[in-house]
Amino acid sequence: MADLFDLLVKGGIIMVPIGLASVLGLAVVLERIWALRELRIYPRGLLERVRETLLKKGTRAADQLVENDDSSLGRLLHAALERTHLPSTELRARVEERGRREAQIIGRHIETVGVLAAVSPLLGLLGTVTGMISVFRKVTMEAGVRGVNPSQLASGIWEALVTTAAGLSVGIPLYLAYRLLAGRADNLVAQLETDAQEFCDLLGEAPTRPEAQT
């Protein structure tokens, strides 16, 4: 552990933003994994229960199932059920608007992971470039006095390369996490859009008279 710490210290000041990127990236990835759980987005059996209630008892009874539901699907269904008095075209427009807001919620902070994945290797490269500049500047200054020391030159070069390795070590896992999270979010949004359209079609067949709600 001490050797690893010494190695990181030799990377210089550029290791600080790389370290911050790794901590921030990990925090966002864990938060998004928690937020994109199926229970929070798409509770199992909710859509089927609402459909059944809608067809048997009407829109008001179906809306009672989701009006306090905090999942993305629940909020989307509630947006449709509380606006059944609107014309079909306007109803679909309102549901699509709610769907866009849910898509933003689902995809929140995922792009941050992508940015950190792209920036971390660049920070590492920047650290290596500045480190190499420092090494060759020192070699140039000492060459006329004591000559070039190959071991000193090699030592300076590998220390400069530490930041590149650190940047890649942070960037590669974050990029993989970004792709997985983005794919998961896209699939959830696509499923919500499909179900929302089908549900709007179903609303036209549902009973709305007060006696159908008892």
Q: Indicate whether 210 pLDDT > 50.
A: no
pLDDT at 115 (0 to 100): 97
At position 92, the amino acid (one-letter code) is R
pLDDT at 5 (0 to 100): 66
Write out pLDDT tens, residues 161-209. Answer: 888 999 999 999 999 999 999 999 999 999 988 888 888 888 766 555 4
pLDDT at 9 (0 to 100): 72
Q: Indicate whether 150 pLDDT > 70.
A: no
Q: Could you state, in order of their start, the residue ranges of all structural domains in the chain?
A: 16-213
114: enclosing H helix or E strand: helix 110-146
pLDDT at 1 (0 to 100): 56
- DSSP calls for 153-193: HHHHHHHHHHHHHHHHHHHHHHHHHHHHHHHHHHHHHHHHH
**Token pair recorded at residue 109:** 């902070």
- The residue that leads in pLDDT, 203 or 31, is 31
Mean pLDDT, the chain, integer: 84
> What does pTM read for this prediction?
0.80
pLDDT at 214 (0 to 100): 39
- Coil/strand/helix, residue 16: helix
Q: What is the mean pLDDT of residues 136-147?
A: 68
Q: What is the mean pLDDT of residues 15-19?
A: 92
Q: Indicate whether 17 pLDDT > 90.
A: yes
pLDDT at 157 (0 to 100): 78
Write out pLDDT tens, residues 98-117. Answer: 899 999 999 999 999 999 99
